[in-house]
Chain A
Amino acid sequence: MMHLPVYVSAIIAFVLLAAGSLVLPDWAMFLFAMALAKGLVCLGIVGMMRGGVVSFGQGLYYCLGAYTATLVANSFGVSDIFLLTLISAAVCLAVGLVFGPLLSSYRGIFFAMLSLALSMVLYGTLSKMSFIGGTDGLNIGAPTFLGWAPEGRPLQTALYIYVVAIVVIAGALMRIYFDSEQGLITLAMRDNELRVEYLGASVRHVMTYNYVFGALLGGIGGTIAVLALGHVDPEFAFWTTSGEFVFVAILAGYLSVPAVFVAAIILELVRSFSNLYFPNTWQLALGIFLLIVIVALPGGLGSLIKRSKETDT
């Protein structure tokens, strides 16, 4: 297989995904948009996973981004999707910069649990704030696109194209980062971080970077999700939400960027259809699906591609 430059792959991916807006039925386009938005959050987890840590609290940024967008939209009347994304991303970046250095010295289950605790504190705080809806949450109006205010199918299409564009850009940038010196150090840390330190690289520094990128992606994902849904509640920061993100990351594996989004879409489809066909036992169906995936694909979806690549050369 020819190794295409990242930007060529990105353009091909964009064209193909965007073509989905022509063929997908309404409900599926919405489902894909949500899956891709959540996929962004998961991409952040994959970035950390490459360094051997997994955040069980990525809902923190997903929720923070969503609430920032909603509060800004509701209090200042901002509805432009680009501006809302930028503001939420900035807030998440700032918060990520505060917690990043703190969390960068934690590993394994402790990193997972401390990140979970942080996101649960946000959940608890938001649940208490009844002036912004408490557990019932808030609604946000439909976004506008640089002054254009579509409705119905055009709105869904515009949102879908927007999330596709962000996904492709973020995916390409993360790929470039993963292949950069720092990205490769991350991978080395996964094997043995003491060795990395002896080589003169700062593990904490790199960890912080990965965490901050995760925060940024989480915030952007949350913003797009809330604009598509029209509603946000503290559940965005609940541990089960974060658990789902981790599941997608594990399903995807840390080897491939596109696999993250494929995994996110698969999970959404499985969940939606098990809900319809097994209204009483959808959790059972989902649980069995998770187990099958974990058993059948120990390295994640990405490992399939890696394997096929190896046989290619």
Chain B
Amino acid sequence: MDLIATILVDGLIYAGWLFIVSVGLTLVFGVLNILNIAHGSLYAIGAYASASLVGAYFAAGGEAFPFGSYLALILAAVLVAVVLGPLLERGLLRYFYGRDEVLNVLVTYAVFLILEDVMKLIWGVNPYFVYEPYTLLGDVEIGPLFYVGYDFAVIAAAIIVGLAVWLTLNRTQVGKVVLAVIHDAEISQTMGVNVKRIYLGAFMAGAFLAALGGALTAPMISVTPGLGVNVIIVAFAVVIIGGLGSVPGAAIGALMVGISRAASVHLVPEAELFIIYFVMAIVLMFRPEGLFAKTQARKI
């Protein structure tokens, strides 16, 4: 009983993190039809930016109100989205719309390689730490175990992000327009939708979510080079399991991966390395396009 509870709590915490890092990926794919490998770089840049910003916050006397560092975390993600979003989307990706999906994967892979070194040029190779926000929320005792309050804040953040994205898409006018663009960009354009702007907006939202994932993770890790490469594969897997372009799919995918990983760590630690690919392969065998993908009409 106690073991099951632990697995669920651990799985939820991991799933919350997974969801935040993968929902942006699915959003960008849904709208722009680009599977963005550079999502991992944006995550890493978010982590670096938040480390720098939170560091600056405390250096400027933030000790008096340490909770302000949470704002700094979010602000860092906003900054990354505002600076890099337009640069990448307007400056590069828009030239590849409508091209082969796999070619686009390679374009973003090139961006990923470039950003890896750019980060090194900006931040060097020494690690950055911002633990202050991690310990601010105290401990939570569940059964025989202690958890860090921050872990639950990440779950809360995941729920907020998920609801915000879902509500924006399904309950606002902007969202309806976005859905129209997802359905058919050409027809939306002829109906007077500014598709360009929707693309830019969606990519910036995706970049923000990637950077937010990094920013929220930064306090519990050491921010070092090579951060992005590990994230991108798990985010891919979650999104593929859930169905590319589906927000609820990303949530379910994150939960499945999170909980099965937690179960494997507690019960069969040897299997942890490939549990994620295992889940992905199983799902794809029965649902070739992922759990929540729209079925697409084949064009004659």
Contacts and interface: CB of A to CB of B under 8 A. Distances in A.
Q: Do A and B come from one complex?
A: yes
Nearest to B118: A284
B116 interface: yes
Nearest to B35: A109
A125 B106 contact: no
Contacts of B5: none
Contact of B114 (A102, A106, A192, A284): A284
Interface stretch (A73-81, A111-119, A303-311): A111-119
B298 A194 contact: yes
A192 B300 CA distance: 7
A131 B271 CA distance: 17
A121 B233 contact: no
Interface size, A (range)? 35 or more
Which of A127, A195, A295 has the most CB atoms of chain B within a 10 A radius of its CB?
A295
A288 interface: yes
Contact of B277 (A106, A117, A128, A193): A117
B112 interface: yes
Interface in A195-252: 195, 239, 243, 246-247, 250
A250 B281 contact: no
B117 A283 contact: yes
A303 B120 CA distance: 37
Interface string A279-291: 0111110111011
Given A113-B240, A194-B298, A195-B300, A288 B277 contact: no
B132 interface: no
B289 A110 contact: yes
Contacts of B280: 113, 117
A121 B102 contact: no
Nearest to B285: A102
Nearest to B117: A284
Interface string B101-112: 111011101111
B95 to A, nearest CB: 7
Contacts of B92: 291
User: Interface SS of chain A: helix, strand, loop or mixed?
Assistant: helix
Interface in B48-105: 92, 95-96, 99-103, 105
A116 B103 CA distance: 16
A108 interface: yes
Contacts of B300: 192, 194-195
Interface size, B (range)? 35 or more
A192 B299 CA distance: 8
Interface in A248-300: 250, 280-284, 286-288, 290-291, 294-295, 298
A128 B116 CA distance: 28
Nearest to B38: A287
B109 A121 contact: no
Report, nearest first, the 10 A-B pairs whose CB atoms are least far apart: A287-B113, A124-B274, A284-B117, A287-B114, A290-B110, A54-B102, A283-B113, A287-B110, A124-B273, A291-B110
Given A56-B105, A280-B120, A294-B110, 5 more contacts: A117-B281, A124-B273, A284-B114, A290-B109, A291-B107
Interface of A: 54, 56, 102, 105-106, 108-110, 112-114, 117-118, 120-121, 124-125, 127-128, 192-195, 239, 243, 246-247, 250, 280-284, 286-288, 290-291, 294-295, 298
27 contacts: A56-B105, A105-B288, A106-B288, A110-B288, A112-B102, A113-B284, A117-B240, A120-B274, A124-B277, A125-B274, A194-B298, A239-B233, A243-B109, A246-B105, A247-B106, A250-B102, A280-B117, A280-B120, A281-B121, A284-B114, A284-B117, A287-B109, A288-B114, A290-B109, A291-B111, A294-B110, A295-B95
